[in-house]
Chains A and B, each alone.
Chain A
């Protein structure tokens, strides 16, 4: 019972942060600012959701696999984000600074 409540809270939190990431992806003004909400999804969203699943699965091989998925996501997502941002900068994409005039 307690297990169910804890996992429900974790999954609800994860779902919330995943959605925030999606909203941010649509709302933010330029590419570089969009990277930040995407990283909310990748860390908090995925972390809470998978932890919620782990609590639901209990001590079993399923939990081990969920941990592996989480560790893998946490190792690869910053690498992918860094590669994206680096490539965009090299390509000459200018970060938005919020200035209405002057800035190119």
Chain B
């Protein structure tokens, strides 16, 4: 029930932000629509820890800040390589282990890998993630496991 309430609040917030009209009629129509969406989501059985992971809310901002820094540095690195007169790349495809316990943790890890320029996750199964990297340096960074450890900490299931 807590998940449904939180989903309702988030969706209603989006409605308010996008509509921009604050008359009684619009507020009521919005509430009805959002309630309908939450009801459908509950019928689909996706309103749970996995479908609406609100237990991550307090730890996510710190992780995002770190990820943003990571994205900036690797974006600059990739841009340098793209603009260099001679292409200095040595792409590799490799499987790396993941230490997350839940599917959502692994999904966050794989998505973070893809979001960081220079590395793309291409497959995720059996607790391993397959990564294509533009350079062997990028895959070396991943293998050191800082991102993996941070996502496991974010996930918080020990």
A–B proximity contact (CB within 8 A): yes
Q: Which residues of A contact B (CB under 8 A)?
A: 17, 20, 23-24, 27-30, 32-33, 35-37, 39-40, 43-44, 47, 61, 64-65, 68, 74-75, 77-79, 81-82, 85-86, 89, 95-98
Contact A32 B91 (CB under 8 A): yes
Q: Which residues of B contact A (CB under 8 A)?
A: 14, 17-18, 20, 71-72, 75, 78-79, 82-83, 87, 89-93, 110-112, 114-123, 130, 132, 134
Q: Assuming the A-B contacts A20-B83, A32-B132, are A98 and B91 also in contact, with contact meaning beta carbons closer than 8 angstroms in the complex?
A: yes
B residues within 8 A CB of A98?
89-91
Contact A24 B78 (CB under 8 A): yes
Q: Which 8 A-B pairs have the closest CB atoms?
A: A78-B114, A24-B82, A44-B75, A85-B122, A20-B79, A40-B117, A36-B134, A64-B17
B residues within 8 A CB of A86?
122-123
Q: How many A-B residue pairs have CB under 8 A?
A: 101
CB distance from A12 to the nearest CB of B (A): 14
- Other A-B pairs, 6, CB within 8 Å; known A28-B89, A37-B117: A36-B119, A61-B17, A89-B122, A89-B123, A95-B132, A97-B91
Among A24, A68, A77, find the residue whose CB has the most chain B CB atoms closer than 10 A: A24
Contact B91 A96 (CB under 8 A): yes
Contact A82 B121 (CB under 8 A): yes
Q: Name the one of B82, B110, B121, B122 contacting A37, with C-beta atoms under 8 angstroms.
A: B82
A residues within 8 A CB of B14?
68
CB distance from A95 to the nearest CB of B (A): 5
CB distance from A84 to the nearest CB of B (A): 9
CB distance from B146 to the nearest CB of A (A): 18
CB distance from B130 to the nearest CB of A (A): 8
Report Cα–Cα, A89/B85, bound state, in Å: 29
Contact A85 B132 (CB under 8 A): yes
